A and B are shown apart, each in its own frame.
Chain A
Amino acid sequence: MKLRRSKIEITDSAEREAEEAVRRLASESTESGMSIPSATHFANLIVRTNQRIDHVTSGAALSISWLARVAVPGVVAILFFFIGLHYYGPGTTSRNSSIAEAMRALPAGVIDSLLYESSAASGSVAAEIPDDVLDVSNVQLAEFYFASGMPASILETLPQQQVAEIAAILESRSTNL
């Protein structure tokens, strides 16, 4: 736990006193002090600093900095783009994978929705077929049975009234004979 430091009134005179105390104590303590670099050192410092400035502003340094900041990240980005394109680009999966593999890769929810959608679609196709597509006239049916060598079957398709009329006609013809 941190203890809150008691508030000290910092006046200019308090600061001056503390500073003088430090200077006095520093002179009292037997210290060797810091080693002072020679004038030659500072003359060399200018030369070395100028060399560093020349180096960082030279063409080589600029090109290295350009390489580090622009070229290398650019190449890496392009490389990643092509790698991504190779694995995830359009057309590559359909060429290399079967439909079954593709279906297996789909989540269960997507498959359910596909099944539901397909059943709804087939219902809609049936709805487009007209209701009277199987309605065939008796004459058409009779022609079909005659053509297929099944005249007896004609009677089954004819209404009771027509059957009776045909029977009456045939009976009268036989009595006339």
Chain B
Amino acid sequence: MNPLTDLELVQQVRKGKREAYTELMRRYQQRVYWVARRIVGNHDDADDIAQETFVKAYLALGDFRGDSGFFTWLYRIAVNLSLNTIRKQQVMNYLRESPMISSLLPAKENPHAELEAKELESKLQRAVALLPEKQKAVFVMRYYEEMNYEEISEVLKTTVGGLKANYFHALKKVQEYLKDEIATIKD
């Protein structure tokens, strides 16, 4: 028996079958998790984003018209949540840099600090973290997920030409960063 398509599962969820939604989560949770993890750069946030993505998608399933694929739609939610998380991180980092404000903020508690430090040892990940957010999103989708430009265009609602330019500039920046890092190690 052929497995049900995404759209058939979505229709079943709309009829009240929660098991169908569990099946959709099983299909896509790892891809959603990894796209979030590569954009935000840490496990905790990626885990939270993955959950939030499926919750938001479940609540908005009535609005899903099926114009694009279910995964593209899911991906769009995940990428937007990831970019929002990066923006919040940037604001928090900015605030923590100010000695007056940082004294008012709670101390950063992070049980995965060691894990994050390890991730930052990955030079490629560090290079990606330095990219502007749009380039970062395009880089993750194209380089890691190997999505074609039409799919990325549907997720980010940007023209293919713009995406190509973003990806190329991202590649060049990452390339330069890695070259410098390797040269430093050899020296």
Q: Which residues of A contact B (CB under 8 A)?
A: 8, 10, 14-15, 18-19, 21-22, 25-26, 28-35, 37, 41-42, 45-46, 48-50, 52-53, 56-57
Contact = CB atoms under 8 A, between A and B. Distances in A.
Nearest to A7: B165
Given A37-B33, A46-B22, A53-B54, A18 B168 contact: yes
B168 to A, nearest CB: 5
B25 interface: yes
Lowest 4 A-B CB distances belong to which pairs? Answer: A25-B178, A18-B171, A31-B122, A26-B124
Interface in B30-81: 30, 33, 37, 43, 47, 50-51, 54-55, 58-59
Contacts of B90: none
Given A22-B124, A32-B121, A45-B25, 10 more contacts: A21-B171, A26-B123, A26-B124, A28-B182, A29-B181, A31-B123, A34-B125, A49-B29, A49-B51, A50-B22
Contacts of B29: 42, 45-46, 49
Interface of A is mostly: helix
A46 B22 CA distance: 7
Interface in B132-187: 143, 164-165, 167-168, 171-172, 174-175, 178-179, 181-182, 185
Interface of B: 18, 21-22, 25-26, 29-30, 33, 37, 43, 47, 50-51, 54-55, 58-59, 115, 118-119, 121-125, 143, 164-165, 167-168, 171-172, 174-175, 178-179, 181-182, 185
A19 B167 CA distance: 9
B118 A14 contact: no
B86 to A, nearest CB: 17
A19, A22, A41, A57: residue with the most chain B Cβ atoms closer than 10 Å = A22
Nearest to A31: B122
A52 B181 CA distance: 42
8 contacts: A10-B164, A18-B171, A19-B171, A31-B124, A35-B118, A42-B30, A46-B22, A48-B51
Interface of B is mostly: helix
Contact of A45 (B47, B124, B167): B47
A141 to B, nearest CB: 99
A35 B115 contact: yes
Contact of B33 (A19, A45, A48, A56): A45
B55 A56 contact: yes
A15 B178 CA distance: 17
B121 A31 contact: yes
A86 B8 CA distance: 60
A48 B182 CA distance: 41
B51 A29 contact: no
Given A22-B171, A31-B121, A32-B118, A49 B55 contact: yes
A30 to B, nearest CB: 7
A41 B50 CA distance: 12
